[in-house]
Amino acid sequence: MIANAATLGPGITSKGDPRVSGVGRLLRSAKIDELPQLMNVLKGDMSLVGPRPEDPRYVAQYTPEQKRILHFRPGITSAASLVYRNEEEMLSGLDWEALYQKEILPAKLSIDLVYLSQRTLLSDFLLIVRTILSMLS
Protein backbone atom coordinates (compact mmCIF):
# COMPACT_ATOMS: atom_id res chain seq x y z
CA MET A 1 0.00 0.00 0.00
CA ILE A 2 1.08 3.53 -0.55
CA ALA A 3 1.66 5.94 2.34
CA ASN A 4 -1.56 7.01 4.12
CA ALA A 5 -3.62 4.50 2.11
CA ALA A 6 -6.09 4.02 4.97
CA THR A 7 -7.04 7.70 4.85
CA LEU A 8 -7.31 7.86 1.07
CA GLY A 9 -10.25 5.55 0.52
CA PRO A 10 -12.43 2.73 1.83
CA GLY A 11 -11.23 0.24 4.42
CA ILE A 12 -10.97 -2.49 1.81
CA THR A 13 -9.23 -2.76 -1.52
CA SER A 14 -10.72 -3.72 -4.83
CA LYS A 15 -9.15 -5.11 -7.97
CA GLY A 16 -6.93 -2.45 -9.50
CA ASP A 17 -7.04 -0.23 -6.39
CA PRO A 18 -4.57 2.62 -7.04
CA ARG A 19 -3.55 2.65 -3.36
CA VAL A 20 -1.79 -0.71 -3.79
CA SER A 21 1.83 -0.28 -4.82
CA GLY A 22 3.55 -2.40 -7.46
CA VAL A 23 5.27 -4.49 -4.80
CA GLY A 24 1.95 -4.81 -2.99
CA ARG A 25 0.27 -6.14 -6.13
CA LEU A 26 3.03 -8.71 -6.52
CA LEU A 27 2.72 -9.83 -2.88
CA ARG A 28 -1.08 -9.99 -3.15
CA SER A 29 -0.99 -12.02 -6.35
CA ALA A 30 1.29 -14.54 -4.62
CA LYS A 31 -1.04 -14.44 -1.57
CA ILE A 32 1.89 -13.65 0.74
CA ASP A 33 0.95 -10.09 1.64
CA GLU A 34 -0.15 -11.23 5.11
CA LEU A 35 3.19 -12.81 6.06
CA PRO A 36 4.39 -9.71 7.97
CA GLN A 37 1.51 -10.32 10.36
CA LEU A 38 3.41 -13.34 11.68
CA MET A 39 5.19 -10.77 13.87
CA ASN A 40 1.81 -10.01 15.47
CA VAL A 41 1.31 -13.74 16.09
CA LEU A 42 4.71 -13.96 17.78
CA LYS A 43 3.83 -10.93 19.94
CA GLY A 44 0.54 -12.58 20.93
CA ASP A 45 -1.67 -9.92 19.36
CA MET A 46 -2.99 -12.34 16.73
CA SER A 47 -3.32 -16.08 16.23
CA LEU A 48 -2.76 -18.13 13.11
CA VAL A 49 -6.47 -18.96 12.88
CA GLY A 50 -9.14 -16.46 13.81
CA PRO A 51 -11.41 -13.86 12.26
CA ARG A 52 -9.57 -11.44 10.01
CA PRO A 53 -9.20 -7.95 11.49
CA GLU A 54 -11.70 -5.55 9.99
CA ASP A 55 -11.62 -1.82 9.41
CA PRO A 56 -13.11 0.01 12.44
CA ARG A 57 -15.48 1.88 10.11
CA TYR A 58 -17.18 -1.42 9.30
CA VAL A 59 -16.95 -2.85 12.83
CA ALA A 60 -18.93 0.16 14.08
CA GLN A 61 -21.85 -1.04 11.95
CA TYR A 62 -21.91 -4.65 13.22
CA THR A 63 -25.16 -6.02 14.58
CA PRO A 64 -25.10 -7.36 18.16
CA GLU A 65 -24.84 -10.89 16.74
CA GLN A 66 -21.91 -9.93 14.52
CA LYS A 67 -20.12 -8.24 17.44
CA ARG A 68 -19.62 -11.70 18.97
CA ILE A 69 -16.72 -12.07 16.53
CA LEU A 70 -14.82 -9.46 18.55
CA HIS A 71 -14.50 -11.92 21.45
CA PHE A 72 -12.01 -13.95 19.42
CA ARG A 73 -8.38 -13.10 18.79
CA PRO A 74 -7.93 -12.03 15.17
CA GLY A 75 -6.01 -14.37 12.91
CA ILE A 76 -4.01 -14.52 9.74
CA THR A 77 -6.43 -16.99 8.17
CA SER A 78 -10.04 -17.95 8.75
CA ALA A 79 -12.73 -20.12 7.23
CA ALA A 80 -14.20 -17.05 5.54
CA SER A 81 -10.86 -15.96 4.12
CA LEU A 82 -10.65 -19.28 2.30
CA VAL A 83 -14.19 -19.01 0.95
CA TYR A 84 -13.52 -15.44 -0.17
CA ARG A 85 -9.94 -16.05 -1.28
CA ASN A 86 -10.49 -14.02 -4.46
CA GLU A 87 -12.53 -11.30 -2.79
CA GLU A 88 -10.75 -8.44 -4.58
CA GLU A 89 -11.88 -9.83 -7.93
CA MET A 90 -15.48 -9.84 -6.70
CA LEU A 91 -15.18 -6.20 -5.70
CA SER A 92 -15.46 -4.52 -9.04
CA GLY A 93 -18.11 -2.34 -10.55
CA LEU A 94 -19.54 0.97 -9.56
CA ASP A 95 -20.52 0.40 -5.94
CA TRP A 96 -18.12 -2.30 -4.78
CA GLU A 97 -17.91 -0.96 -1.23
CA ALA A 98 -21.68 -1.27 -0.81
CA LEU A 99 -21.46 -4.84 -2.15
CA TYR A 100 -18.82 -5.59 0.47
CA GLN A 101 -20.80 -4.06 3.34
CA LYS A 102 -24.20 -5.46 2.43
CA GLU A 103 -23.34 -8.94 1.13
CA ILE A 104 -19.75 -10.08 1.50
CA LEU A 105 -18.95 -8.87 5.02
CA PRO A 106 -22.13 -10.31 6.61
CA ALA A 107 -21.48 -13.65 4.88
CA LYS A 108 -17.85 -13.69 6.06
CA LEU A 109 -18.89 -12.91 9.63
CA SER A 110 -21.50 -15.67 9.55
CA ILE A 111 -19.01 -18.23 8.20
CA ASP A 112 -16.44 -17.34 10.84
CA LEU A 113 -18.94 -17.34 13.71
CA VAL A 114 -20.10 -20.84 12.76
CA TYR A 115 -16.50 -22.05 12.43
CA LEU A 116 -15.44 -20.50 15.74
CA SER A 117 -18.39 -22.03 17.58
CA GLN A 118 -17.24 -25.52 16.50
CA ARG A 119 -13.46 -25.11 16.27
CA THR A 120 -11.01 -27.67 17.54
CA LEU A 121 -7.25 -27.93 17.44
CA LEU A 122 -7.62 -30.36 14.53
CA SER A 123 -9.95 -28.05 12.58
CA ASP A 124 -7.51 -25.16 13.08
CA PHE A 125 -4.64 -27.33 11.85
CA LEU A 126 -6.62 -28.41 8.79
CA LEU A 127 -7.56 -24.80 8.07
CA ILE A 128 -3.88 -23.82 8.15
CA VAL A 129 -3.07 -26.68 5.75
CA ARG A 130 -5.91 -25.62 3.41
CA THR A 131 -4.64 -22.05 3.53
CA ILE A 132 -1.12 -23.10 2.58
CA LEU A 133 -2.45 -25.30 -0.23
CA SER A 134 -4.58 -22.45 -1.57
CA MET A 135 -1.53 -20.16 -1.55
CA LEU A 136 0.41 -22.72 -3.57
CA SER A 137 -2.32 -23.32 -6.14
pLDDT in tens, 36-65: 788 899 999 999 999 999 999 999 999 999
H/E segment holding residue 59: helix 56-59
CA 131 to chain centre: 12
Q: Please state, rounded to an integer, the average pLDDT across all residues of the chain.
A: 85
pTM of structure: 0.75
Look at 1 and 114; give whichever has higher pLDDT: 114
Three-class DSSP category at 24: helix
Q: Could you give the CA distance from residue 41 to residue 132 in angstroms, rounded to a whole number?
A: 17
